[in-house]
């Protein structure tokens, strides 16, 4: 049976063209209540064993990964309510010079309503780990060897079953040997369609109205005591790059540069990695 998750694309368009600023549950809840099949499919994909199941192409239908990608754009919009604004022109759609998101900003309650409606569990990790945490700001420690620690949260993360939906946005404190404060908080964020506060790199960028939706979601799982990053990657498609293995894995795990800015022109989308869960 073809995936129905592409219907989140319809919600994206409705949110872009419709509600006034500060919208929340009054918009999201009725839409999701009418589509319990979407929540059921999300939870089927969230099963631990689903990480082993490849997502097939289904002719002219959107695949589950493409449907999840539409879903992830909704998540990006909801998280914008918690992000500081930034007037840097590099944050704009480079094909048009306009903002990536041209709708209104939701209220902060929209994210919690959405998480509850899709039955997503909160991420309860208090110790910093790039699987669970997106770096928003960095406080420099006097001790250059101090590892990153969470000192504040901008927004909570979410997980459906074993599948990561969104990392928590956090402020961290770290020594310079672990993170460069400006690089870790301001470098290009990969696998993100939009952020208010930093440049993003998304495979859909630059494609036309229809083609952009043929983008795959990055699936990450926590299962059986391990963290699985980008399980649908195809390493055979990986072009040669001038990155060493450590930088490649850091870019995959953190989704951004952390010490030296690696730029916004890397192609990490077919890297994959497995490590022990903390």
Question: According to the model, what pLDDT value does residue 7 have?
Answer: 97
Measure the CA–CA gap between 140 and 143, rounded to whole angstroms.
Answer: 8
CA 226/CA 202 separation, integer angstroms: 26
The tens place of each residue's pLDDT in the chain, 278 residues long, gives 689 999 999 999 999 998 999 999 999 999 999 999 999 999 999 999 999 998 876 666 789 999 999 999 999 999 999 998 888 888 888 888 888 999 999 999 999 999 999 999 999 889 999 999 999 999 999 999 999 999 999 999 999 999 999 999 999 999 999 999 999 999 999 999 999 999 999 999 988 777 899 999 999 999 999 999 999 998 888 766 778 999 999 999 999 999 999 999 999 999 999 999 99
Per DSSP (E only), the strands in the chain are: 121-122, 133-140, 149-155, 158-160, 163-166, 168-174, 189-190, 200-201, 221-223, 226-229, 273-276
Residue 123 and residue 132 in contact, taking contact as beta carbons nearer than 8 Å: yes
pLDDT at site 65: 96
Q: Output the pTM of the full model.
A: 0.95
Query: According to the model, what pLDDT value does residue 208 have?
Result: 79
């Amino acid at each position: 049976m073809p995936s129905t998750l592409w219907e989140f694309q319809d919600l994206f368009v409705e949110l872009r063209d419709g509600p006034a600023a500060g919208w929340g549950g009054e918009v999201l809840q009725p839409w999701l209540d009418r589509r319990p099949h979407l929540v059921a499919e999300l939870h089927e994909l969230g099963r631990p064993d689903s990480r082993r199941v490849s997502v097939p192409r289904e002719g002219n239908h959107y695949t589950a990964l493409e449907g999840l990608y539409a879903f992830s754009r909704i998540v990006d919009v909801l998280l914008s309510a918690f992000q500081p604004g930034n007037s840097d022109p590099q944050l704009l759609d480079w094909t048009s010079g306009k903002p990536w998101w041209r709708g209104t900003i939701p209220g902060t309650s929209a994210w919690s309503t959405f998480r509850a409606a899709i039955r997503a569990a909160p991420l309860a990790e208090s110790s910093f780990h790039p699987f669970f945490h997106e770096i928003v700001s960095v406080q420099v420690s006097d001790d250059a060897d101090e590892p990153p620690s969470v000192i504040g949260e901008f927004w909570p993360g979410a997980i459906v079953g074993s599948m990561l939906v969104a990392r928590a946005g956090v402020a961290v404190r770290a020594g310079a040997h672990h993170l460069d404060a400006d690089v870790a908080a301001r470098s290009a964020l990969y696998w993100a369609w939009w952020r208010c506060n930093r440049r993003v790199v998304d495979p859909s960028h630059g494609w036309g109205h229809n083609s952009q939706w043929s983008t795959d979601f990055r699936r990450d799982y926590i299962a059986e005591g391990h963290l699985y990053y980008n399980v649908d990657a195809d390493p055979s498609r990986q072009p040669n790059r001038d990155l060493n293995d450590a930088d490649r894995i850091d870019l995959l795990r953190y989704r951004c540069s952390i010490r030296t800015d690696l730029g916004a022109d890397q192609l990490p989308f077919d890297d994959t990695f497995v490590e022990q869960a903390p």
